[in-house]
């Protein structure tokens, strides 16, 4: 029986999840990955084993199946949950709101009920800075009003409120809410990274695909914002720093009673053109672009006051935009087709939910 604290990591095969799995293992935890692979690839599991040098336990299934989740928590004797599983495309949520509420809110309810049934009462929740909506000023701290402007962002706020209600109703629940700003980049090995599939919605993967020649040029959505160079300013956060934020959060929950909500960002803003120039320096490639009208729903500036995460968790981002671009480029170069380039593993297991078991069983 492993002495390492077991942590259920839902969405563990995804972009944030896979980086969090590496950070957890390196910090001495034993993550139990859960994923339905609706927005991720089983091929990442082999990469995780190569990176960590040990088998990776991953269970395939839907977190909305509460009895199944309860069984996982019990079988693996998990001491905490990190809940990342969820849909995250803002634009898609506007077009398909019920899909987002059903999956994001319904999924968390299922996980919380399963946790309650097995007395696992510590949860780290993946939230988003979009719960703030269009901020009155920047930097944004956790006391700012929340005014979500999309069903995606609203689903995240509803989840936060459900967790707060549970912690109020049952004082032994420990809840850590992490409001992500803009996660970008990849593990420095280039073995795992962001694999959006299709046309990327987000800036960094789109720039990377232009730099590698997959796309002709970047469309810059608006150059008439009240910002230093007229383009949108965001708080980009290296995904490995974000992963360490999850480790710090679960560590605190397992050590201390109580709950917290913190921003995870660098506290610095970078404009679209600033990212583009940094990427050109990191890659040595030119990134052609053209200015086009603003994208609906975008705001001018969005960056964090991250001081509460520093005081509550002792966490601070350590990578700047140059490293984010360097690592995003390294991943893009090594994996021009993302994980699609890997031969998908034969998934074992009966019925629709196949258990991969320890990774070494699955290949």
Residue 302 CB, nearest distance to ligand WQD (Å)? 6
Per CB under 6 A, the list member of 295, 334, 348, 353 interacting with ligand WQD is: 295
Residue whose CB is less far from ligand WQD, 219 or 333: 219
* Out of 43, 85, 220, 264, the residue judged to bind ligand WQD by CB under 6 A: 220
What is the Cα–Cα distance from 238 to 325, expressed in whole angstroms? 9
Least Å distance between CB 32 and ligand WQD?
Answer: 24
Kindly tell me which of 68 and 221 has the beta carbon lying closer to ligand WQD: 221
Q: How far is the CB of 237 from ligand WQD (least distance, A)?
A: 10
Cβ proximity to ligand WQD, 31 vs 151, nearer residue: 151
Q: Which of residues 180-219 bind ligand WQD (CB under 6 A)?
A: 180, 182, 201-203, 206, 218-219
Report, in angstroms and rounded to the nearest whole number, the Rg of the chain calculated over CA atoms: 20
- Binding residue for ligand WQD, selected from 39, 93, 103, 130, defined by CB under 6 A: 130
- The count of residues interacting with ligand WQD (CB under 6 A) is 19
Shortest CB 145 distance to ligand WQD, Å: 18
Closest CA to 260 of 196, 312, 329: 312
Near ligand WQD in 242-281, by CB under 6 A: 272
The single residue of 29, 152, 206, 225 carrying the catalytic annotation is: 152
Pattern 27-66, ligand WQD, x by CB under 6 A: ----------------------------------------
> Minimal distance in Å, beta carbon 62 to ligand WQD?
21
Measured at the CA of 219, the angle between CA 216 and CA 220, to 5 degrees, comes to: 145
Query: For ligand WQD, which is the closer residue by CB, 29 or 100?
Result: 100
Indicate whether 298 belongs to the interface with ligand WQD (CB under 6 A). yes
Which of 130/335 has CB closer to ligand WQD?
130
Report how far residue 262's alpha carbon sits from residue 45's, in angstroms, rounded to the nearest whole number.
30
**Who contacts 231 (Cβ-Cβ below 8 Å, separation ≥6)?**
220, 222, 223, 225, 271, 272, 273, 274
Is 29 catalytic? The answer is: no
* Least CB distance to ligand WQD at residue 320 (A): 17
**What residues make contact with ligand WQD under the rule CB under 6 A?**
88, 90, 128, 130, 180, 182, 201-203, 206, 218-221, 232, 234, 272, 295, 298
Active-site residue list: 152
């Amino acid at each position: 029986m492993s002495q390492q604290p077991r942590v259920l990591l839902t969405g563990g095969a995804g972009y944030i999840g896979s980086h969090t799995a590496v950070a957890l293992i390196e910090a001495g935890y034993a993550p139990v990955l859960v994923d339905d692979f609706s927005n991720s690839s089983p091929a990442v599991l082999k990469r995780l084993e190569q990176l960590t040098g040990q088998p990776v336990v991953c269970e395939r299934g839907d977190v909305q199946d509460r009895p199944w989740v309860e069984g996982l928590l019990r079988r693996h004797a998990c001491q905490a949950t990190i809940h990342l599983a969820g849909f995250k495309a803002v634009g898609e949520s506007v077009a398909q709101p019920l899909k987002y509420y059903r999956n994001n809110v319904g999924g968390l309810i299922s996980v919380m009920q399963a946790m309650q049934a097995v007395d696992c009462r510590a949860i780290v929740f993946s939230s988003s800075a979009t719960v703030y909506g269009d901020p009155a000023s920047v930097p944004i701290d956790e006391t700012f009003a929340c005014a979500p402007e999309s069903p995606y962002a609203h689903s995240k706020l509803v989840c936060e409120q459900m967790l707060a209600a549970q912690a109020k109703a049952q004082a032994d629940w420990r809840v850590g809410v992490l409001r992500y700003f803009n996660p970008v980049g990849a593990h420095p090995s280039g073995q795992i990274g962001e694999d959006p599939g299709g046309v990327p919605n987000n800036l960094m993967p789109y720039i990377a695909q232009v730099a590698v020649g997959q796309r002709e040029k970047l469309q810059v959505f608006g150059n008439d914002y009240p910002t230093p160079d007229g383009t949108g300013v965001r708080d980009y956060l290296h995904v490995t720093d974000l992963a360490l934020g999850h480790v710090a959060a679960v560590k605190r929950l397992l050590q201390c009673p109580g709950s917290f909500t913190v921003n995870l960002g660098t506290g610095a803003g970078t404009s679209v053109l600033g990212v583009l120039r940094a990427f050109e320096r990191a890659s040595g490639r030119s990134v052609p672009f053209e200015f086009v009208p603003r994208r609906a729903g975008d705001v001018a500036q969005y960056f964090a006051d991250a001081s509460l995460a520093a005081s509550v968790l002792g966490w601070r981002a350590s990578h700047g935009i140059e490293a984010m671009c360097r690592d995003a480029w390294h991943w893009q170069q090594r994996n021009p087709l993302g994980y699609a380039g890997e031969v998908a593993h034969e998934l074992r297991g009966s019925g629709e939910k196949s258990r991969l078991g320890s990774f070494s069983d699955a290949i």
